Structure formats: structure tokens, C-alpha cells
Amino acid sequence: METRDWSLVIFTVLTQAAVGAFLTLQVLEHLATRRDRGASGRATDGPQNNSPARGGAQADEHEAGSARESSGARALAARGPLPAPLLVVLAVLSVGLFAALFHLSTPLQAVRAVVNFSSSWLSREIVFGSLFAALLSALVWHEWRTAGAAAASPAPERHAAGSAASGSAPATPTPAGQAFRSPAPANALSADPTSLAPATWLPRFTAAAGLAFICCQIAIYLLPAQPAWNSFATPAAFGGTALRLGILGVAAGFAVRNLTAGVDDPAPADPGGSGVAPAATLREGKVIRSFRVSDGGSGVAPAATLRGLALAGIAALALEFVVVPLHLSSLSANPLPAAAASVQRLTVDYSGILLLRLGLLGAAAAALVGVLVTIRRAAGPSAPSPPSLASVLTCVAFGLTVASEVCGRFLFYAMQVRVGI
């Protein structure tokens, strides 16, 4: 593999991770919102259940609207918490897009890469990649602005509405009030489809642009001149990377959040200065804003979220153990000498890296099984937060998967053999 191709390894892995993480966050947000809506109107109890139900959602939307209208300039001045998860995704995406420039021999002319949109998949890739980045930036700004607007609106009204919605929320500022202060975060799946608010369409367009971005990346490599690429293995590789790094990246975000709780809480999430206790704050808030899942009064806590992500992660890791043998066998059955040469590269020239790739994936899966076992042994998925060991193991699994994906993408470019002589 040529040195220049390393920029493509970084570009494809990071941008696919960014799209995967964005979609994972959207799915989690959707599940949390749906769960909260299901729990609306139900009386809640227990130490972790003092959050107002998010259905909650309707009153929340109303609050958000009135907060935005009433606060005006105060909103920006108030500066709500930055939506950390989205910012991390945007940062990863930006580094990935920047790395792509170094594949070009004339990076300063990169803007010309969009000229041939009508026939070149690379042009389309750059257009949709840029669109995804632009929409994601707009979403970050929207989240930050609405959170600030909510924080700047008068507290007593908000809290009154919160109490009404949850039925039993405390009468003094609490984590419940804190969580409720934020208007409904944008979500592609669960927002009211008839609404014209940015919170409805912005995440949907962002998700669509991200998916289109990955589809264009895949289409670039479906070249009849390259048998090893012109196969189901390319969508499986790129989609698989997005799934694995997206799911485990978000899981690692939760894990880091859990491990560092008390370090960065509650200051950034508490512009109103209500003095929310870190341990309680951890269980409140919104997924795309702070790597938190509101329990929504349903009794489901972050341990369940981590458990769900670990299960999904294991499935995504297992996918590769199906794809690699199928790809090798389909290449072996291909009569073209170029296909046989690619098999040779994978199984002889770079067999060590292939084994390392699969070994790292296996180790990551083992770490995720450890996460499941640890959570089960602690207090079960209904525990308010997962044990530290589960968080550490989640981060280990993510790290191993990142290393494995880099190996896998190296192999992707290294196995390339053109047809003909």
C-alpha cells in the first residue's frame, strides 16, 4: 500500500465512525424519548426517578418555544451547555475530512473535486460529506442555542410545568428541574413529523446526508477493474465500520462520562446554578447533549443503556467474522487472476495483519461480554449506573475496535489488485 493511502485509511475510518456515532445517538435519543413518552403521566418514585417525565415532551416543546420567544438575546448570553456528543462527532468528522486532502497531490485545489458531480462518486462523496458536516454544525449550534434559551427563561414557570407533567416532581430545583430546563433535543426519529421546527427536520436531513455520504464512499470502490473491491465486502466493510465504531464510540462516551462524573459536573450542565449533585446529574439530560439518558421515570437507568450498546456492539463485531470468510471464498471462486492475487495478499502477504485484525475484534467482543457480566453481577440493568469496571471495559473494547478498524482498512487498500496484465 502506498503511503498516500494512509490518508484514506484515516479519512474513511473517522468519517464512517462519525456517521455511525451520529446515527447511534439519534437511535438512543429516539428510544429514550419514546420510553419517556410511555412513562408520561405515571407517578414516579425512587432516588433516580425524580426527573419529570418527558411527556413531558409536549409540555417540554411548549416550554422550549415560549422560552425561545421570551428570552431573545438573553439566550445567547446565557450559553447553555455545549452538546458534547455532537461536538465530538463533529470533531472526528472534521479530522477525517481534513485527512482526505492529503490523498490529493494538490490539496489546495481540493475544491475542484466537486466539479464532476454528474458522474463521479468521489465528487458526490465530497458534496454529501460537506453537507453532513454543515448540517451537523447547524445542529450543534441549534442545540447550544436552544439550551441557552431554555436556561435563560424564568425558572419558576418551568418548574411548575415540570411538576405537572411528572406528577410527583419535587417542588424545589432538583435534577428534575435541571433536566426539564432543556427543551426537547433534536431527534430524527421521534420528533413530530408535521412540525417545521429545526428540531424536527435538521436531524433528519443530517442523518440522510450522513447515510448518503457513506453510500457514495461505497460506490467509489465498486469498480469492475478491482475485483477485491467490486463486491458485497465493500458495503459490509464501510457499513460495518460505521456500526462498530458508531455504537462503541457512543458507548465509550457514556463510559467516560460515568468514569469522570463529578469532575466536569455539574458546572457545564447547570448554567442556572441550581446546585445539582453530580451523581444525580449523571442520570439526567439528553443523549445528544451530554451522553446522558434520562430515566424518564421508567426506572430504566444508564446501566441498561450500556448493556444495550454492548449487545449491539457484539453483534456488529460478529458481523466481520461472517464477512471475511465469505469475501475470501467469493474471491477464491472468482476466475480472474486479480482476484486470486488479492486472496494471496490477504492470506499470505498480510496474513499477520488479518489475524491481528480479527484477534483485536475478538478481544473487543470479549471485553463487551465482560461489560455484560459486570453489569449483571453488580445489580442488573436496573442499577442507576453501571459499575466502573463496566465503563473501563467499554473503553477497552472501543480502543481495541479502533485499532482493528485501522488494520482492516489498511488491508482494504493493500488487497487491491487491478484486472488485466
Partner 1 sequence: MSDTKQQVAFFFDANRCTGCRTCEVACKVENGVELGPRWRKVRTVEGDQDGGPYMYHVSMSCNHCEVPVCAEACPSGAITKRSDGIVIVDESKCIGARLCAWACPYDAPQFSEETGKMEKCNFCSHRIDAGTGGPACAEACPTKALQWGTLDEVAAKAGATAEFGPLPDADITKPAIRFIPLKLVHS
Nearer to partner 1, 123 or 241 (CB): 123
> Is residue 150 a contact partner of residue 64, using CB atoms and an 8 Å limit?
yes
| Separation between Cα atoms, residue 194 and residue 61, nearest integer Å | 14
Q: According to CB under 8 A, which residues from 28 to 87 bind partner 1?
A: none
CB of 10 to partner 1, least distance (A): 16
Interface residues for partner 1 in 200-239 (CB under 8 A)? 220-221, 223-226
> How far is 176 from 166, CA to CA, in rounded Å?
9
**Cell digits of residue 213:** 455520504
**333 binds partner 1 per the rule CB under 8 A:** no
Given 171, 263, 333, 421, the residue binding partner 1 (CB under 8 A):
421
Beta bridge partners of 56: 54
Quick check: 289 and 183 in contact, CB under 8 A? no
Q: Which of 126, 287, 309, 354 binds partner 1 (CB under 8 A)?
A: 126
Q: Does 403 bind partner 1 (CB under 8 A)?
A: no
- Pick one of 32, 50, 80, 121: the residue that binds partner 1 (CB under 8 A): 121
| 420 binds partner 1 per the rule CB under 8 A | yes
Residue 112 or 377: the one with the smaller Cβ distance to partner 1 is 112
Q: Is 120 in the site for partner 1 (CB under 8 A)?
A: yes
Beta bridge partners of 211: none
Residue 254 C-alpha cell reads as 457514556
Q: Is residue 103 at the binding interface for partner 1, with CB under 8 A as the rule? A: yes
Binding span for partner 1 by CB under 8 A among 115-123, 233-241, 347-355, 366-374: 115-123
**In this complex, which beta carbon is closest to partner 1, that of residue 127 or of residue 256?**
127
* H-helix or E-strand spanning residue 33: helix 5-39
Given a contact cutoff of 8 angstroms between Cβ atoms, the answer to whether 186 and 288 are in contact is yes
* Cell numbers linked to 313: 456492539
Q: Which is nearer to partner 1, 17 or 228 (CB)?
A: 228
Q: How far is the CB of 131 from partner 1 (least distance, A)?
A: 16
Q: Look up residue 39 and give its amino acid.
A: A
Choice between 5 and 264, CB closer to partner 1? 5
Among 112, 134, 195, 332, which residue interacts with partner 1 (rule: CB under 8 A)? Answer: 112
Cell of 264: 466536569
Question: Minimum CB separation from partner 1 for residue 134, in Å?
Answer: 19
Measure CA 91 to chain center.
Answer: 12
109 binds partner 1 (CB under 8 A): yes
| CB 63 within 8 Å of CB 269 | no
110 binds partner 1 (CB under 8 A): yes
Residues that bind partner 1 (CB under 8 A): 103-106, 109-110, 112-116, 119-123, 126, 220-221, 223-226, 416, 418-421
